[in-house]
Structure 1
């Protein structure tokens, strides 16, 4: 069903935490369609590497400490990311995107902390790169819904549909129009960085293990490798979050085992 409601009217809250392909609701296309979708997804990915950059390693740490509202550790993680070359724009975008996974209050509090960090660094004589704002206009109305659906399909690896969307179709409209449309069309943060942030936040959040497994798969679809995701797990371990580390390790192992079984 086409929905022409303006994006500003959508109120998705933490809808992305219900990233429903993780519940087994995606309808698997034929092999030719899967190959096409994989090719489309990789067109939005960065070149494949086996190690995370220092900047990339900071992203899941920022996300995990934001998700747990641990402001001292978030302060340190933001400083680590900025020291590693994260721009202010990229840091803001990470914290803005994560409202969809952790809720507005945590996002607003984290953005306030980023403001504090940037000001403290200025007082110490550190001039962080401002970065850039999105370079293209985000579409609206039917075009936004279409773009969001295409982005969702690329990241999920197949059209996302199933009984849940028959029961509550509006939830997928919100996901497509807002998360995968409004947010993922903003090109001041690449998709690998967005997935690193999502994995970090979900790993730190109890009770969303199905969604975490889903985003481990999505991370690999946008070009991150199993080796890089193992490094994300190590970042969480080094941060002292044993529960997040365990959840992330189990999610990745489950995804890799399932992928091996399908090959």
Structure 2
């Protein structure tokens, strides 16, 4: 048993080293104090995909392309959101994006495709890779003991590590910070996701987003999505900041 535990820990640490290039890229986000236009559109695309407001999503998708998001970056946002908002909302978002692309092509607008998402290399230890990603998002350097839902329903923990944090987060194209912007916006739009929103607000800061940038997400939600969504996100964000200040006075 001890040998098995050591082997898994070694695999996790190796995966963390492999993620080093992503960590350096995310560290660049610390130099910023506010969301740029591209990031603001990730907020609205994610929020309207999650809440199913397809007319507003269509506007947000056009705005995202105009703001500099590539076609494949938007595809990655829509793909990732199935893990948080479900296949129906994700597929509706993809269908809406297809309509937008058809209309823009007919109007003579040529949008850059950008880099395409790829699967992890064959033979990747997806459990270890996913654990490494989750550790980075959680801001920890050691694998924590399993607890709560991990013990009650271990299957979901496997899916979280091997599918969400390995298969999806490992596709590239988007920085972890961009994926967390999308996730925070989607969870705020869904509502009733206090625990998950707390986790991902912390995760967003752990991968380099500043408090000002997270406040920027809430500002975009208030301006472009709805006051209920922004109020919910603001309440949870306040709780997160209070807890973090108590941990790091």
Q: Is the 8 A contact 2:44 2:225 kept in 1?
A: no
How many angstroms apart in 2 are the aligned matches of 1:223 and 1:142? Answer: 26
How many angstroms apart in 2 are the aligned matches of 1:183 and 1:240? Answer: 26
How many angstroms apart in 1 are the aligned matches of 2:123 and 2:150? Answer: 20
How many angstroms apart in 1 are the aligned matches of 2:207 and 2:25? Answer: 7
Matched, 1:121 2:101: no
Q: CA 1:141–1:74 in 2, change beyond 3 Å: closer, same or farther?
A: same
- Root-mean-square deviation (CA, aligned residues, Å) is 2.2
Q: CA 1:147–1:240 in 2, change beyond 3 Å: closer, same or farther?
A: closer
Q: CA deviation at 1:44?
A: 5.2
Q: Does the residue aligned with 2:63 lie in a helix, a strand or coil?
A: helix
How many angstroms apart in 2 are the aligned matches of 1:137 and 1:67? Answer: 24
Aligned length: 228
Report the counterpart of residue 194 of structure 1 in structure 2: 179
Q: CA 1:162–1:146 in 2, change beyond 3 Å: closer, same or farther?
A: same
Matched, 1:169 2:148: no
Q: CA deviation at 1:164?
A: 2.2
How many angstroms apart in 2 are the aligned matches of 1:163 and 1:44? Answer: 33
1:157 to 134, 139, 162: 139
Q: CA 1:256–1:208 in 2, change beyond 3 Å: closer, same or farther?
A: same
Summarize deviations over 1:66-109 as a string: whole Å, max 9, x none: 11110110001111110000000000000000000000011111
Q: Is the 8 A contact 1:46 1:192 kept in 2?
A: no
TM-score after normalising by structure 1: 0.81
Q: Is the 8 A contact 2:48 2:225 kept in 1?
A: no
Q: Does the residue aligned with 1:204 lie in a helix, a strand or coil?
A: helix
How many angstroms apart in 2 are the aligned matches of 1:92 and 1:188? Answer: 10
Q: CA 1:129–1:46 in 2, change beyond 3 Å: closer, same or farther?
A: farther
Matched, 1:244 2:248: no
How many angstroms apart in 2 are the aligned matches of 1:65 and 1:147? Answer: 30
**More deviation, 148-157/218-227:** 148-157
Q: Which has the higher helix share?
A: 2
Q: CA deviation at 1:46?
A: 4.5
Q: CA 1:176–1:128 in 2, change beyond 3 Å: closer, same or farther?
A: same
How many angstroms apart in 2 are the aligned matches of 1:206 and 1:231? Answer: 18
1:45 to 4, 26, 29: 26
Q: CA deviation at 1:121?
A: 1.1
Point out where structure 2 has 5 or more consecutive residues left out of the alignment.
2-15
How many angstroms apart in 1 are the aligned matches of 2:230 and 2:90? Answer: 22
How many angstroms apart in 1 are the aligned matches of 2:119 and 2:70? Answer: 21
1:103-118 mapped onto 2 (5 Å cutoff): 103-118=86-101
Q: CA deviation at 1:42?
A: 3.9
TM-score after normalising by structure 2: 0.86
Q: CA 1:109–1:237 in 2, change beyond 3 Å: closer, same or farther?
A: same
